[in-house]
Structure 1
Amino acid sequence: MADSPDLLLLSRWLTPVPGFLVPLVGAGARIGYVPTASSIYPDQTWLDLDRATLEAQGFEVLDVDPELVSTATFTRALGEIDAIFVAGGNVFHLLGALRQTGADRPLVHAVRHGLPYIGASAGAAVTGPDIAPLHLLDDPSEAAPLESTAGLGLIDVTIIPHAEGTVGGRERIDRTLAQYPDHPLQLLRDDEALVFSGGRRRIIPG
């Protein structure tokens, strides 16, 4: 088991990915791309941009969507890739889909046992202890059925992406802070990234 999971959590831009991933798994790594958070939206342009960016960075990108394959197939895929990338969209739908399909458990197990995790926006927010504070940024009513807002628990803070207000305006960020003063929130701007590695946490340019 890894001493601690390796996670790169992004608000928007993928610039930090090579600097994070290449030292861990080498150049040309196979990245499993999870588009699930956006499956409820007809426009998925940003997913195409993600994939193109990762490929331009020299990585091989393979879609791994738990909504389209069995839990066994998803679990097997986790053993055949060098890193996992969980894309943005609606964090409530993402968590609901992971729970409904049973993909949450093998995903957490793989990351805790050394599979590097890269999450963007919703993919970053789902890693924390509770996604409830995200309800002003994402609409829970659009989501797959969700009995609990408890997140994947890979980290001890809830990421609030787009903290400068690029999605929905700064007023929603301020309301989130006011409504959840007792939650461990980590604001993350689009030009920032949060790295968890070696038991340490640090913010780097995004």
Structure 2
Amino acid sequence: MTAHALLLSSSRQGDETYLEHARAHILAHLGERRELLFVPYAAVTQTYDAYVEAVQKALPECSVVGLHRASDPVKAITQAKENHQAIVTGGGNTFHLLYTLYEQKLIAPLQNAIADGTPYIGWSAGSNICGMSIRTTNDMPIIEPPSFNALTILPFQLNPHYTDYQPPGHNGETRDQRLAEFTALNPRTPVVAIREGTALLLTNNTLTLQGEKGGFVFTGEEKRPIAAGESLTKLLG
């Protein structure tokens, strides 16, 4: 596997501005590249052009081009590496993102491009699609994709924006309870839950948790803590 992927939990941490905490991680991941092919399909209540503009403003060192503007999106993904572009997928609604990727026939091209070493960066929904499926997203299923199966860049499930905080007086299920429901039905499939401000870095056949906060791996009835900087390479199989 030659995948070089940075999977951020979120675009914001606390009260920071858009991509503020992520910017250093993104630029380090890009190396000398500054050309970004941006996948805006998780956007629902803002236009794709507005989304591209927001990312461009947050990353002024880079040149951001929206995939939605390509006359042939499949070709744009396929040629991203030779065009010295990184592929970047933003957050929003995971169901809408995956639906559009299927609609545009971009699942296999994305899988192949990432496996071939095209740098990839995602946050929130853009990270969620890199797991086996989107069945552990936090989003509402506002649209039905043909399948919940995702890119499987990582051979497990992801849960970005993880939190174990429960507001006083809130009687709905906690995040842990929701994830426990998944692992009860899928006891052999790990779920890696990452807090806002952290990221998973996949490079050189290794996987590590980046950032200053820890996370958790849910498997079956077990919830195992993972420390900041911990290697998760064994989860790659």
Band of TM-score, shorter chain: 0.7 to 0.9
> How many angstroms does 1:91 deviate by?
1.0
- 1:29-108 to 2 correspondence within 5 Å? 29-38=34-43, 40-42=44-46, 48-55=53-60, 58-65=61-68, 69-75=71-77, 78=80, 79-108=82-111
- 1:93-132 to 2 correspondence within 5 Å? 93-132=96-135
Query: For residue 12 of structure 1, what is the aligned residue in structure 2?
Result: 10
Equivalences, count: 191
Rounded to whole Å, the distance in 2 between the matches of 1:76 and 1:128 is 21
Aligned CA-pair RMSD: 2.7
1:188 is aligned, of 187, 190, 194, to: 194
Letter matched to residue 19 of structure 1:
A
Is 1:151 the counterpart of 2:150? The answer is yes
Letter matched to residue 147 of structure 2:
S
Structure scoring higher RCO (CA < 8 A, sep ≥ 6) equals 1
Seq. identity, %? 25
TM-score (norm 1): 0.81
- Does structure 1 conserve the Cα–Cα contact (< 8 Å) formed by 2:40 and 2:68? yes
Unaligned runs of 5+ in 1: none
Say which one has the larger Rg: 2
Rounded to whole Å, the distance in 1 between the matches of 2:174 and 2:72 is 37
Secondary structure of 2:209's partner?
Answer: strand
Unaligned runs of 5+ in 2: 12-21, 213-237
Rounded to whole Å, the distance in 1 between the matches of 2:40 and 2:123 is 11
Task: Show structure 1 runs of 4+ deviating over 4 A.
Answer: 43-48, 168-172
TM-score (norm 2): 0.71
